[in-house]
Structure 1
Amino acid sequence: MYIRGEHNPPHFHALYAEYEAQLNIQTLEVIEGKLPRRALAMVLEWAAEHRTELMEDWNLCQAKQLPNPIKPLE
């Protein structure tokens, strides 16, 4: 997530090598961009486990505050 200039719907950015995608936090749909299938599956698994934390971080970013770290996929 970026602190400045983010737009609705609430989303996060996932980066993998030269790929980037923006995913809607509430629906976990890809809004923009793309990731390889395996990377996308891992991102979706991680995001499903941390959806509440992602929304909390989204709200912090909207308030121009730093987001909290979220554990990686184990």
Structure 2
Amino acid sequence: MPTISMFYGIIVRMYFAPKEHPPPHFHVYYGEHKATIDIRTCEVIQGNLPKKQTKLVLAWAELHQDELTADWELVMNGEEPFKIQPLQ
């Protein structure tokens, strides 16, 4: 599963198809926590993160929604996603 971004100890990844499934989403890891984020709504759809990290990830997702959507299309075609600028 390629890592597409890392910031403040948060790792953002996307799986390649055919393991993936709708809705378009990405996976977030922070220590022992993990969550799945819907790209279209920028909401946590599975798992959980600490409150601060959730806010950071959702803000980052909103800023990079178009890039995340483009990466989703790539991984659904079995292609390597592009790296996305971390939150600064």
TM score, norm. by length of structure 1: 0.97
The one-letter code matched in structure 2 to 1:45 is A
Residue in structure 1 matching 2:80, options 66, 69, 72:
66
More helix per residue = 1
1:12 counterpart residue number: 26
Aligned-partner Cα distance in 2 for 1:42–1:29: 12
Unpaired runs of 5+ residues, structure 1, are: none
Secondary structure of 1:26 counterpart: coil
Q: CA RMSD in A?
A: 0.6
More strand per residue = 2
1:55 aligns with 2:55: no
Q: Percent identity?
A: 46
1:3 counterpart residue number: 16
Aligned-partner Cα distance in 2 for 1:22–1:68: 19
Q: Deviations over 1:13-59 (max 9, x none)?
A: 01100000001000011111000000000001111100000000000
Aligned residue pairs total 74
Secondary structure of 2:23 counterpart: coil
